[in-house]
Amino acid sequence: MKKIERAIVSVFDKSGVVEFVKTLIEEFGIEILSTGGTGMLLNQNKIKFTKISDYTNSPEMFDGRIKTLHPKIEGGILYRRDFKKDVQDAEIYDIAPIDMVVCNLYQFKEAIEKPGLDIKEALELIDIGGPTMIRAAAKNYPDVIVVPSPEYYDKIIDELRKNKGAITERTRLILAHDVFTIMADYNAAIANYLQKYYNPESIFPDTLLKVYEKVQDCRYGENWDQAAAYYRDVSSKYGLHNLKQLGGKQISFNNYLDIDSCIQMLLDFGSAYYVTAILKHTSPNGIAIDKKDLLKSVQMAFSCDPLSSFGGIWGVNKELTTDIADFIINKEKIFVDVLLAPSFEPEALEILKQKQNMRILELSDFLDKKDEIYKNLEIRSTLGGILIQEYDTKPIIKEWNVVSKRKVNETEKEALIFAYKVSKWAKSNSACFAQVYNDGIYTIGIGAGQQSRVHVVKLAAQKAIEFGHKDELKNSLMGTDSFFPFPDGLEAAVEVGAKAIINPGGSMRDELIIKRADELGCALVFCGKRVFRH
């Protein structure tokens, strides 16, 4: 291990740098070189350092655009200490070794989020000297330690103390890797910004640049013999990594997929009512909204399919209270794998923790960030590539066109929209029967993932009957995620009691479907928007 004797310090984020540099000098006798802005801060704190301009005998130029781009700086970082020709060149050109580079970059990503920023201002935020130094230090990590963020200061000081002023090669290598990851993200942000600037109408760029950072290894993937991990998109302000786990086992690969679906369902139903979503394998098996009571919405969502709710993912859009915790813990045959809520009453949380394996996740204000969350595109992997699309966040009703002779009232309209939203979140082909009660709407039968529309309608009805909702099918309201290609799906729904059905329309046989609806006395609404989910 090589002792650190000279360091250059040039930082945009100055948090903690004064204490860090003081320790480098006072405990380890390290000589400090520094640039204008950082040097002013060190000078204000009476910390001894050498100005870069004095060290290089070259002034800062072009309004600070050139400070550290000089052979005495870059050469001092890059020359190989055990390479004879490099050592000779350093002696000839009077280049002293720089053993540590403490440097973080202009916060380009944060700055371009500010409204009204023009291209000239953005260009000035592209750091040149900083990236050059940290890349040089990372390339020459066997001889130079690079410190690219304040988060590393404590670790570096601890290691210097442990090793009498030296840093291990492993730490040098880890930080070198971090630098190139930082630069990949930094360059991606600049490239993406410029691409948006010259082609603002393009949703899908010619080159998609993303950087992902591992959050955790999963115990296994979808199945026991698959390895898996969860990564966060470092350019995204909000993601599943923002959730706070308050109890239970580690989140699994399949949990992440289900949690993602559950949160998106809650986002889609909004905050106007008390909403509960219960799902399994990313498809809902019970959703309810209540205008007054969260517990009632939980109970009604559970009633749709208690069997599938066992081991499911449960999410609510309001604070989870003690009465709900009692219902989950004490009601027979309830087993919740993951429970999500914006917050938990303290007593409710203590009750829930009786189930040691149940994963309890606090959403905090996540459900209030819909616009931020959906700024990114949806990315799905394929063999050798990815598919990209916008998230399906547009209004679920493109047009409200009652095409049947039988009309619908406002209560029925609200229930039809509810049923259509549920069918959106069930895997296609899907169908959902819904029913109205005094203060809310709930699902009574959900069918998902069938290859034909008639069979998914029959499946939804069959599940409703199996779980005690046969009577509620009478005068029920049904949504299905695409058009009826033939009348048989509509006929199957009316046969079990549906009085009104919503779908997007668009079949070449729409006129035949409308005629059949009129013959059966069923209201039929075309909303103009398909909601497939594969």
Which residues are catalytically annotated? 139, 281
Instruction: Report the run of H or E that residue 234 belongs to, with start and end.
Output: none
CA atoms of 34 and 458, how far apart (whole Å): 74
In the chain, the amino acid numbered 496 is: V
Any alpha helices (H) in 374-438, and if so which ranges?
410-425
Please enumerate in sequence order all residues whose Cβ is within 8 A of that of 330, keeping only pairs 6 or more positions apart, or say none.
Answer: none
Q: Which two tokens stand for residue 54?
A: 């004095």
CA atoms of 359 and 250, how far apart (whole Å): 7
CA atoms of 413 and 420, how far apart (whole Å): 11
Q: Which residue has the tokens 């081991």?
A: 311
Please enumerate in sequence order all residues whose Cβ is within 8 A of that of 435, keeping only pairs 6 or more positions apart, or say none.
Answer: 415, 441, 442, 444, 469, 472, 476, 477
Compute how many other C-beta atoms are within 10 angstroms of the C-beta atom of residue 171.
17
What are the E-state strand segments in 150-263? 212-217, 229-233, 244-247
Helix 169-198 and helix 129-139, axial crossing angle in degrees, nearest 10: 140
Q: Which two tokens stand for residue 79?
A: 């020359």
**CA angle, 400 then 401 then 402, to 5°:** 120
Q: State the DSSP code for 61.
A: B
Q: For residue 361, which of 483, 465, 266, 474 has the smallest C-alpha distance? A: 266
**Bond prior to 429 in cis (omega within 30° of 0):** yes
Burial of 225: CB neighbours in 10 Å, binned 0-12, 13-18, 19+: exposed
CA atoms of 412 and 392, how far apart (whole Å): 24
CB contact burial 135-144 (16+ within 10 A = b; e otherwise): bbbbebbebb
CA atoms of 135 and 156, how far apart (whole Å): 19
Burial of 62: CB neighbours in 10 Å, binned 0-12, 13-18, 19+: exposed
Please enumerate in sequence order all residues whose Cβ is within 8 A of that of 328, keeping only pairs 6 or more positions apart, or say none.
Answer: 298, 314, 334, 336, 339, 352
CA atoms of 17 and 157, how far apart (whole Å): 12
